[in-house]
Amino acid sequence: MAKQLLSKIPAINKILLLGKTKELINSYSEVAVKSAIKNYIDSIKQDILNEELKEVPTLEEILDEVTKIVEQEDKNSLRRIINATGTILHTNLGRSLLSQKIKENIESVAFNYSNLEFDIENKKRGSRYVHLTDIIKKLTGAEDVLVVNNNAAAVLLTLNTLVKDKEIVVSRGELVEIGGAFRIPEIIKLSGGVPIEVGTTNKTHLKDYENAINEQTGALLKVHTSNYKILGFTKDVSNEEISYLARENNLVSINDLGSGQFLDFSKYGLPYEPTVKEVLDSGIDVVTFSGDKLLGGPQAGVIVGKKEYIEKMKKNQLTRTLRVDKMTLAALEATLKLYLDEKEALEHIPTLHMISLSKERLFGKADVLKRKLIDLDFDIKIEDDKAEVGGGSYPASYLESVVVKLTHSTLSSTEVERRLLEVDIPIITRIKDNSIILDMRTLRTREFDIVKAALEEVTK
């Protein structure tokens, strides 16, 4: 029976000769179409052998399926999505969006030769690490700067250069695990350092650090507890105290800020957090932070601090393996320049814009979207809700937000949510009270038409 069926499967060569196949090859490519035909035919054979298929599909059915496969495989694996969740820095969704204002800077470096490692003035080999030094010094008051691939790399390089084979004293309450299993104690070990935990989970005192210092000690490390918060009976030691104690004992003081910010967001309803400049002003020797968290730039790790330490890092072989790309440098430099004017930064850096949007503006956006969707088969409400910064910043703190709440007349919200992930530009939503939630903090006005089209498509 199976044998008979197998013999009825059309030969690949025969399928290739069909007019429709040729059209498909013209629109896509021979490699893509051949591979789709072969894979589909193989799957038919397998299904017949497993007795899951009792009849061979017609040529027409085969071509329909092949077309679907080719179309699906033609989509890039990494592609655009729309974030309607209200979580601004969503690590799974690419963290910060770059500012439209810096498009030209990236383009000009990406599509042309550049002075990446060329010193134009002196007509000789230069360093890629000089390009950001001036602007970061200006914004943070740092003596020197080094930019690497990401903040995890920044921490590793800092520790490996300054305190390899030495003890690194860190509060037990700050031994964090960041998403993707980046664990501070593991990074310390990987750098060649020896982690020495002090204090307890909820309380660490200056004397705990003092008591841990001996001849083997190399650094006092503070780590931002990015993704959790210890509430209640707590105590940690200030940057001032840490840096003073380090200086008294000839040790390096390091603060892994994680997110790292240049502006104070407390006026937007978030708790106060020191800026990078304030941490350096408190006397800390080396500060590390991410480029794509609260800074709102590309993925990068920024190391700022004392010149003698940063010079050493530049000479470490490890720097080469953690090297930052030219497009990242171009994007970061242009993003940082926007910070020279705070208003400009808040308006044009998407991460900052989303954080600083007022309730009125959020309502305004919701109202525009509601009007746009009014003819669709949804019950539409505008409601107050809570959004969050995310990405390991401001744990357990929320931003007030405004959402558009959709309930379909017949489809369940989980079904609509699922279908919204299958459209051309997938839309990531939340579900609350059995309704689809579109949060106005992260959904951008320019995306409203795409959302409308998608909602139409998934409910037709």
Ligand X SMILES: *Cc1c(COP(=O)(O)O)cnc(C)c1O
**Chain contacts with ligand X (rule: CB under 6 A):** 150-152, 155, 176, 178, 182, 223-224, 226, 256, 258-259, 290, 301, 392
Please give the Cα distance from 76 to 352 (Å, whole number). 29
Six-digit token pair at 346?
């808040």
State the nearest-atom distance from the C-beta of 273 to ligand X, in Å: 12
Question: In the complex with ligand X, which residue's Cβ is closer, 177 or 281?
Answer: 177
- 250: number of Cβ within 10 Å: 8
Please provide the DSSP assignment of 48-99 as one string: HHTT--SSPPPHHHHHHHHHHHHHHHHS-SS---EE-SSEEE-GGGTSPPPP
- 182: number of Cβ within 10 Å: 15
State the nearest-atom distance from the C-beta of 174 to ligand X, in Å: 9
Which residue's CB atom is positioned nearest to ligand X? Answer: 258
State the nearest-atom distance from the C-beta of 331 to ligand X, in Å: 14
Helix runs in 131-255, H state only: 133-140, 151-163, 184-190, 206-212, 239-248
State the nearest-atom distance from the C-beta of 199 to ligand X, in Å: 17
Maximum CA pair distance of the chain?
A: 87
With residues binned 3-state (H G I as helix, E B as strand, rest as coil), the percentages for the chain, rounded to 5, are 45, 20, 35
State the nearest-atom distance from the C-beta of 214 to ligand X, in Å: 26
Question: In the complex with ligand X, which residue's Cβ is closer, 88 or 223?
Answer: 223
Helices (H) and strands (E) in the chain, counts: 20, 18
Angle, vertex CA 452, rays to CA 451 and CA 455, nearest 5: 85
State the nearest-atom distance from the C-beta of 348 to ligand X, in Å: 22
Question: In the complex with ligand X, which residue's Cβ is closer, 217 or 290?
Answer: 290
Question: In the complex with ligand X, which residue's Cβ is closer, 86 or 390?
Answer: 390
State the nearest-atom distance from the C-beta of 337 to ligand X, in Å: 21
Antiparallel, parallel or unpaired: β 435-439 and 430-432: antiparallel
Antiparallel, parallel or unpaired: β 301-305 and 144-148: antiparallel
Question: In the complex with ligand X, which residue's Cβ is closer, 43 or 179?
Answer: 179
Question: In the complex with ligand X, which residue's Cβ is closer, 36 or 187?
Answer: 187
State the nearest-atom distance from the C-beta of 223 to ligand X, in Å: 5
- 460: number of Cβ within 10 Å: 7
Please give the Cα distance from 275 to 175 (Å, whole number). 21
Question: In the complex with ligand X, which residue's Cβ is closer, 66 or 287?
Answer: 287
Question: In the complex with ligand X, which residue's Cβ is closer, 223 or 451?
Answer: 223
